[in-house]
Structures are given as C-alpha cells and as structure tokens.
C-alpha cells in the first residue's frame, strides 16, 4: 500500500481522521441533512466538513450521488499520497474496485418523491447512473484513466474489505500493477436511518447524548450508529512501487473470505465463521497467530456481534488472545456499512505506520463476555508488526485482512 485516503465523520482526510481517533473523539452527532423528528433514532455519523466542489467540478455535481463524491475525494487523496504519476504509464494495468453496500440512497429518495407526485418530467436523466453501486468505481476510473478491471463489491458491511482483498488477488496474479480499491457509503438519509431503526439494529437511547451511542464491548451497548464516508487505498506490486521509488506503507499480506451460511443478520454461534475467516487470512499471509499484535475489530456495538467476535478471537488465538490489543474504531466513527472495511483497513495502516493503536471509547462497563484488551478510552503507543482488520456483514459474509508493517 502506498497511499491512503479517508473521508469519515471525524473529518475529510486521513490526517484529520487520525488525529480525531487518537484524541478519542466521537464523530456521531444529531442528523442535520434531513428532518429526522419522525424517527426513533435521530443521530448518525455525517461527514462534518466535506466540500464536494473541492473534489469535483460544478458540472459533475448533478451527475453524482454523495456516495460517488466521497469515493472521488478519498481516491484523489490516496493517489496524491502515493505519488503516482497520472496518466499511468500503462493504464490497462491499473484497475479500480470500490465496495458499496447501499448505493445512491439519497438520489432514490429524491426521485421517489417526484414519482409519487407524478412529476416524472422533473426526474433527473442522471437518476440511474447516480444510484447504481458500480458508478463510484466508474467515476474514479474516469478521473485517473484506469482501464484495468473495474467493478463494485456489494456484500453489506464487508464490501470495502472484499474490494481490497480482490484487488490484491489481481496484483498477485500478475495482471495488474496498480489497484485503487476501497469502499464508499452515504446512507444517512430518511430511508437509511429509518430502515435500520425499523429492524432495531441502531442505538436508540442516545438521541440527546450522541457521542456515547457507539459503545462496542460495553454491557450497555444496544446497537450500531449509522455513518458514512469513504476509504480508498492505492495498492501496487512491490516491483512496481520499487521501480518508481515509492515508499510502501504496509503490505496487505493476507486475505480471508467466507460465509457463515447461518442467518440473515446474526453471526454464527460461537463465532465459528469469523474464526475460520481470520485463520484463512493468517494462512494466506503465512503468519502464525502469535505474530499478530493488534486487531481492528468489526466491533459494531451490537449485542450479538461483539460477543461472537470475542469468542472468534479466542478460538483462533487461544491464550495469545489475552495478549492481543483489540480496538473498535466504530466507537468513534460509527458504522460506515459498505465503506467500513476499507476505512478500518486504512486506519490499521496508520496504526502500523505510526506505532500507535487507536482506542475503543465509551467502554465504561465492559461486558463480562467481552473480556479481552480492547484498548479502552485512550490511544496506546505500541510497535506492532502484524495486524488484522475484521469485517463481518449481514448475510453472514466475513472478510479478514492481514496487514504487515514494512521496515
């Protein structure tokens, strides 16, 4: 990996997000983009400082949903950090994969209101291009002239992590030199918040105290906090990066992916699927469990997930599980759904590079069933060589990425 770009509820830019994480600051706040007074949940992780005109020309704003705008911004930041020369030396060997879980939800809402009012002539001709999940990858490819493989991974909360794993496979296969990969999501809308609230997946008791709502591994957790943004990473073969004199940040060394095949929303009992997924990533990276020093947990702040993930870690690591540092950065960013895996992989890159582990905030009363070291409250200096980033989604989809620090 040679570049990281982040757009999160903590702010626009990897450095801004990183500073917020180290400060233990929550990006959860009352929803401001629409009137949420009719909903039982009125909080979310909106991006507070995002200026689309900084990243897109005015003529492109009406053509794109916010989810695409986030992806374009994150991609431009990642490419800038990587130092890649654009246009690419061989555009056919540069591809784009971006995970998107829900697509252009706000554009769907806007068009639906027009259809209901029978005002068809007011529906934008860009409606379909604004809502389909692959358009984030398409727009990023057009921006950089990347003519290699281009598609979206859509696997709920694992979407962004799947994109990174599949990008690495293309590079390993020798068909691509450069991949721009990650995830993007913009679900903080009436339908997005209302839909998850209807299934009782969201924290609903913190409308007046939003920064305390996301509390992974805490006994008072009651659901996740919906959030949005994007994470994009530049992945290159070592040969390509070395030839152009680039400084590689971290190696994406292992990729595990599987399915619980158990339930629409609940994890498999005892965390069996998640454990198998972490084992696959370790085997792919040729890394012993004892070499892992940190896990960026999926850690959604839901009763089932946090306990199952804890059991999965114990199943994979045995006694070493109690020596591992684990944190859920969702405690500060909220849950970015399809973008979460990519954002959290980017955060893990920064943790390895800076030798600092972000905390899990709001862990005031640890659940007795969640008894590992979750780096509570305060960031911790630690030199870690190998870390995992977990992403588990509805439908039982699991992804684990193994990342190794490069000297």
Q: How far apart are CA 216 and CA 210, in angstroms?
A: 14
Distances (CA, A) of 128 to 104, 131, 133: 9, 5, 10
Q: What is the pLDDT of residues 271-282, one digit of tens each?
A: 999 999 999 999
Q: Give the end-to-end CA distance of the chain in Å, rounded to a whole number.
A: 13
- In CATH, the number for domain 250-405 is 3.40.47.10
Residue 277 a catalytic site member? no
Q: Is the pLDDT of residue 30 over 80?
A: yes
Backbone angles phi, psi at 378, to 5 degrees: -125, 135
For residue range 84-132, what is the model confidence (pLDDT) as tens digits?
A: 999 999 999 999 999 999 999 999 999 999 999 999 999 999 999 999 9
Provide Rg for the chain, Cα atoms: 20
Q: Is 139 a catalytic residue?
A: no
CA distance 316 to 290: 10
The H or E element that residue 272 is part of is helix 272-285
Say what the pLDDT of residue 67 is.
98
The tens digit of pLDDT for each residue in 380-392 reads 999 999 999 999 9
Look at residue 121 and give its three-state secondary structure: helix
298 part of the active site: yes
The one catalytic residue in 157, 277, 370, 400 is: 157
0.95 exceeded by pTM? yes
- Residue 310 in contact with residue 324, Cβ under 8 Å? no
For helices 135-144 and 66-82, what crossing angle results, to 10°?
A: 40
pLDDT at 249: 84
Residues 29, 349: Cα–Cα separation, whole Å:
26
Give the pLDDT of residue 283: 98
Fold classification of 3-243 (topology level): Peroxisomal Thiolase; Chain A, domain 1 (3.40.47)
Confidence grade of residue 26 (pLDDT, cut at 50, 70, 90) = very high
Any idea what DSSP says for residue 24?
T
Residue ranges covered by each domain of the chain: 3-243, 250-405
- Taking only the tens place, the pLDDT of each residue in 168-224 is 999 999 999 999 999 999 999 999 999 999 999 999 999 999 999 999 999 999 999
Whole-number pLDDT of residue 407: 73
| Among 162, 240, 335, 400, the one annotated catalytic | 335
Q: How many CA atoms lie within 13 A of 130 on its CB side?
A: 21
Q: What is the share, in percent, of the chain residues with pLDDT greater than 90?
A: 98
Domains 3-243 and 250-405 share a fold: yes
Q: Is 281 helix (H, G, I), strand (E, B) or coil?
A: helix
- Active-site residue identified among 139, 162, 240, 298: 298
């Amino acid at each position: 990996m040679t570049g990281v770009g982040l757009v999160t509820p903590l702010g626009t830019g990897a450095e801004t997000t990183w500073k917020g994480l180290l400060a233990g600051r929550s990006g959860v706040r009352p929803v401001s983009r629409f009137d949420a007074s009719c909903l039982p949940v009125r909080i979310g992780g909106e991006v507070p400082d995002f200026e689309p005109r900084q990243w897109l020309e005015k003529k492109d704003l009406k053509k794109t949903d916010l989810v695409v705008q986030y992806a374009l911004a994150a991609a431009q930041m990642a490419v800038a950090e990587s130092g890649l020369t654009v246009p690419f030396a061989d555009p056919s060997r540069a591809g784009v994969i971006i995970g998107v879980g829900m697509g252009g939800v706000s554009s769907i809402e806007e068009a639906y209101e027009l259809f209901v009012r029978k005002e068809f002539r007011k529906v934008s001709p860009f409606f379909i291009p604004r809502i389909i999940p692959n358009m984030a990858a398409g727009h990023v490819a057009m921006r950089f002239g990347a003519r290699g493989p281009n598609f979206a991974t859509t696997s709920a909360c694992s979407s962004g992590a799947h994109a990174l794993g599949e990008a690495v496979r293309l590079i390993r296969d020798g068909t691509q030199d450069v991949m721009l990969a990650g995830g993007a999501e913009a679900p903080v809308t009436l339908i997005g918040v209302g839909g998850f609230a209807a299934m009782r997946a969201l924290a609903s008791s913190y409308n007046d105290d939003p920064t305390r709502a996301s509390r992974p591994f805490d006994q008072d957790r009651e659901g996740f906090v919906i959030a949005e943004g994007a994470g994009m990473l530049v992945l290159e073969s070592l040969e390509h990066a070395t030839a152009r004199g680039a400084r590689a940040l971290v190696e994406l060394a292992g990729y595990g992916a599987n399915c619980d095949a158990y339930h629409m929303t609940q994890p498999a009992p005892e965390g069996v699927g998640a454990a198998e997924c972490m084992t696959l990533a370790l085997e792919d990276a040729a890394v012993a469990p004892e070499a892992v020093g940190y896990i960026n947990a999926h850690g959604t702040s839901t009763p089932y997930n946090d306990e199952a993930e804890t059991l999965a870690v114990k199943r994979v690591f045995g006694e070493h599980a109690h020596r591992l540092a684990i944190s859920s950065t969702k405690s500060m960013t909220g849950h970015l759904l399809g973008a979460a895996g990519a954002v959290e992989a980017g955060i893990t890159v920064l943790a390895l590079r800076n030798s600092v582990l972000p905390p899990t905030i709001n862990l005031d009363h640890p659940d007795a069933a969640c008894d590992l070291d979750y780096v509570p409250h305060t960031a911790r200096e630690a030199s870690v060589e190998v870390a995992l980033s977990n992403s588990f989604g509805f439908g039982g989809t699991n992804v684990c990425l193994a990342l190794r620090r490069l000297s």
